[in-house]
Amino acid sequence: MSSITKETVCYVADLARLYLTDEEIEQMTESLNKILEFEEQLNSVNTDNVEPMAHAVPLNNVMREDVVEESMPIREAMLNAPDEVEGFFRVPRIIEKD
Amino acid sequence: MPLEDYTIVIGLEVHAELATDSKLFCGCSTSFGSEANTQICPRCLGLPGTLPVLNKKAVEYAVRAGLALDCKINKFSKFDRKNYFYPDLSKAYQISQYDQPICEHGHVEFYVGGEKKVVGITRIHLEEEAGKSIHSGTSISDSDFSLEDYNRSGIPLIEIVSEPDIRSPEEARIYMETLRSILRYIGVSDCKMEEGSLRCDANISLMPKGATVFGTRTEIKNMNSFRAVQKALEYEAERHAKLLDSGEKIVQETRTWDDNLGITLSMRSKEEAHDYRYFPEPDLVPVILEDEFVTDIKNSLPELPAEKFRRYLEEFGLPEYDAELITADRDLAEYFEAVVAIYNKDYKAVSNWIMGEFMRLMNEQGIEVGEVKIKPEDFAAMLKLMDEGVISSKIAKVVFEEMFNTGKEPKTIVGEKGLVQISDSSAIEQIVADVIKDNPGPVAEYLGGKDKVLGFLVGQVMKLSKGKANPQMANEFLKKALAELSKNQ
């Protein structure tokens, strides 16, 4: 069974843009390991000849026709913009400076 | 060693926006060129509490593309989340297909310098477009901020991944052109590279000729025209060869093509190796395609460019060059076929007019086949007027251009402009006599044995008749009159 190290926690936190304190890293490592242990129970179930399930809801092919609907008013959309310039969402520098 | 001693290995990932009216998972319009952020909604922005619902037409178009590229259509496919942070992706994940794409294992055929080339298609999957970033500086790396327009985000895309079967930058360009031609034929994408509805990323590596293990590859982005695809890959192949020759290692990285400078630049980003943490999209249920759905699409496919090409060689006896050029564009091919359905006397003549005046005027005026005013029946009628000797080939060009500009029938134009060819013997004899009288010098030269001068004198006859004299008659009458002169000397 694979166990989660502090390094793994830091890596995942970094990918998710989460900034954790040392204490939180400790806590997360412990919690995530507990979760994994809990899920390990599933390995005791015999799944031979059972097809993998792609979705928890027994439904397929939920589709809509290709019909244009009204979009939201731009003012409303911009209510969520932390920074706006003339109808655009303004975002900070994308590539870090050297 | 020179580049020729290396084998170039190229694989392309081509993105084509599908020509649906609405987005992949919501009802926002996909139309191009609208004001920023006016075609967005809580669903395509990924606001909490919203759920995506799959556009059926997009599934149909993806299957259509798969069938046209000889792919196996997977009965079962599903969507996955590709997680990454980038400002043009407001949800922080893209809905894509990871391990069970809708189509796999296809291939495309085309000709390179007369040789048949087959490139394998690994897979085609459906995914959503990202938004568009406008950078404050001249490039992304010197911009302190960027502006985001999410109108494009959520437009359906197919990503067509090729096998690493492409062996030269030229092949890469022709492969792209072939894909465009096919996708436009089947009507699933308008494939406008200038509007970004057709894009590609290229993977390239070099290995010594005869080797079987691929070298380290680099990925090139930002090639915005067919020419740029070829140029960027030519540049990159040379760059690899130089590095390898000097014993340096190729760094596996993503590079961007700078079209102005004509070079590729490293996109040194500080992000980790890509770790997209794909997982099945919980908000969408799987797609299971019924046989009938696939068969119906298969039956509705038009004749594809490669089949048309072969038919043009066999049925119309056109040279390969003509057949390829005309069949590359479905509208052009259909126009050609509409003309030859009426005028079947000389297919090559129709092809010459299409590749000549027709395309010249189209390019000059920047219009497409669908906007051309000449009706196929009028095109055919003009050719008949030439055959009947009513107009000369020279006048035909004038008539054709007028037809092109006004959409009038050729007979009307000939009547209005008095362009009927002069085939009346006495009229031509008179013009010939005038020309001989007005050009004593050249006439003397001709009589003195300079046969070449005849061409000049024929030209004078055509000029005097304002191009309306029947050229064969002008030639014949001139020779006769000059022979008479010679006898009497």
Tens digit of pLDDT for each residue in B70-103? 999 999 999 999 998 888 899 999 999 999 999 9
**Using one digit for the tens of pLDDT, what is the confidence trace for B445-456?**
888 888 888 888
Average pLDDT over chain B, rounded to whole?
Answer: 90
Percent of chain B exceeding pLDDT 70 equals 98
Give the angle B131-B36-B259 at the CA atoms, nearest 5°.
60
Is A98's pLDDT higher than 60?
A: no
pLDDT category of residue B158 using cuts at 50, 70 and 90 = very high
Is A10's pLDDT higher than 80?
A: yes
* Exposed/middle/buried for residue B81 (C-beta within 10 Å: 0-12, 13-18, 19+): buried
Q: Cβ–Cβ of B134/A88 closer than 8 Å?
A: yes
Q: Give the pLDDT score at B438.
A: 87
- For B187-244, what is the HEC assignment? CCCCCCHHHCCEEEEEEEEEEECCCCCCCCCEEEECCCCHHHHHHHHHHHHHHHHHHH
Q: Which of residues B71 and B424 earns the better pLDDT score?
A: B71
Beta strands A88-92 and B76-77: pairing type?
unpaired
**How close B78 comes to chain A (CA, Å)?**
7
Q: Rounded to whole angstroms, how far apart are CA atoms B114 and A66? A: 42
Lowest mean pLDDT, pick from B6-15, B33-42, B376-385, B389-398:
B389-398
Q: Does B282 touch chain A (CB under 8 A)?
A: yes
Integer-rounded Cα Rg, in Å, for chain A is: 22
Which of A51, A59, A68, A83 to mutate to test binding with chain B, by most B CBs within 10 Å of its CB? Answer: A68
Domains in chain B: ranges and CATH:
3-296 (no CATH), 303-417 (no CATH), 425-488 (1.10.10.410)
Q: Which two tokens stand for residue B322?
A: 């003509």
Q: Give the pLDDT score at B161.
A: 97
Does residue B274 contact residue B252 with C-beta atoms inside 8 Å?
no
Mean pLDDT of B100-113: 93
Is B141's pLDDT higher than 50?
A: yes
Mean pLDDT of B172-192: 95
Q: Rounded to whole angstroms, how far apart are CA atoms B4 and B11? A: 19
Percent of chain B exceeding pLDDT 90 equals 57
Integer-rounded Cα Rg, in Å, for chain B is: 30
Q: Give the pLDDT score at B268.
A: 65
Q: Does B49 touch chain A (CB under 8 A)?
A: no
DSSP annotation of B140 reads G
Q: Which two tokens stand for residue A95?
A: 């590539």
Distance spanning both ends of chain B, measured CA to CA: 74
**Using one digit for the tens of pLDDT, what is the confidence trace for B324-373?**
999 989 999 999 999 999 998 899 999 999 999 999 999 998 888 988 99
Is A78's pLDDT higher than 70?
A: yes
Does residue B326 contact residue B312 with C-beta atoms inside 8 Å?
yes
DSSP 3-state of B125: strand
Q: Rounded to whole angstroms, how far apart are CA atoms B84 and A57? A: 26
Beta strands B93-96 and B80-83: pairing type?
antiparallel
**Using one digit for the tens of pLDDT, what is the confidence trace for B264-289?**
988 765 444 568 889 999 999 999 99
User: For residue B287, what is the nearest residue in chain A, using CA coordinates?
Assistant: A61
Is B66's pLDDT higher than 60?
A: yes
Is B255's pLDDT higher than 70?
A: yes
How many helices and strands in chain A, by DSSP H and E? 3, 3
Measured CA to CA in angstroms, residue B339 lies from B344, B354, B406 at distances of 8, 10, 18
Say whether the ipTM exceeds 0.90. Answer: no
Q: Rounded to whole angstroms, how far apart are CA atoms B334 and A24? A: 68
Mean pLDDT of B48-67: 96
Mean pLDDT of A32-37: 92
Half-sphere exposure of B30 (CA within 13 A, CB side): 26
Q: Does A70 touch chain B (CB under 8 A)?
A: yes
Q: Give the pLDDT score at B270.
A: 46
Q: Which of residues A75 and B1 earns the better pLDDT score?
A: A75
Q: Give the pLDDT score at B425.
A: 76
Is B432's pLDDT higher than 90?
A: no
Mean pLDDT of B191-203: 91
DSSP string, B71-122: PEEPSEE--EEEE---TT-TTSEEEE--SS-SEEEEEEEEEETTEEEEEEEE
Q: Give the pLDDT score at A97.
A: 62
DSSP annotation of A34 reads H
Does residue B47 contact residue B209 with C-beta atoms inside 8 Å?
no
Nearest to A89 by CA among A74, A68, A67, A71: A74
Q: Does B272 touch chain A (CB under 8 A)?
A: yes
Half-sphere exposure of B6 (CA within 13 A, CB side): 23
Q: Give the pLDDT score at A96.
A: 64
Measured CA to CA in angstroms, residue A10 lies from A21, A27, A31, B275, B443 at distances of 10, 12, 14, 14, 97
DSSP string, B25-37: SS--B--TTPPTT
Measured CA to CA in angstroms, residue B22 lies from B42, B78, B203 at distances of 15, 20, 32
Q: Give the pLDDT score at B70.
A: 96
Give the angle A84-A89-A91 at the CA atoms, nearest 5°.
100
b vs e for B197-229, b when ≥16 Cβ sit within 10 Å of the residue's Cβ?
bbbbbbbbbbbeeeeeeebebbbbbbbbebebb
Count CB pairs under 8 A between chains A and B: 134
Does residue A31 contact residue A65 with C-beta atoms inside 8 Å?
no
Which of B145, B284, B289 to mutate to test binding with chain A, by most A CBs within 10 Å of its CB? Answer: B145
Lowest mean pLDDT, pick from A94-98, B331-335, B380-384:
A94-98
Q: Give the pLDDT score at A20.
A: 93
Q: Does A18 touch chain B (CB under 8 A)?
A: no
Helices B425-438 & B471-488 angle (0-180, nearest 10): 60
**Using one digit for the tens of pLDDT, what is the confidence trace for B236-254?**
999 999 999 998 988 888 8
- Residue numbers in B near A90 (CB within 8 A): 145-148
- Residue numbers in A near B45 (CB within 8 A): 77, 80
DSSP 3-state of B8: strand
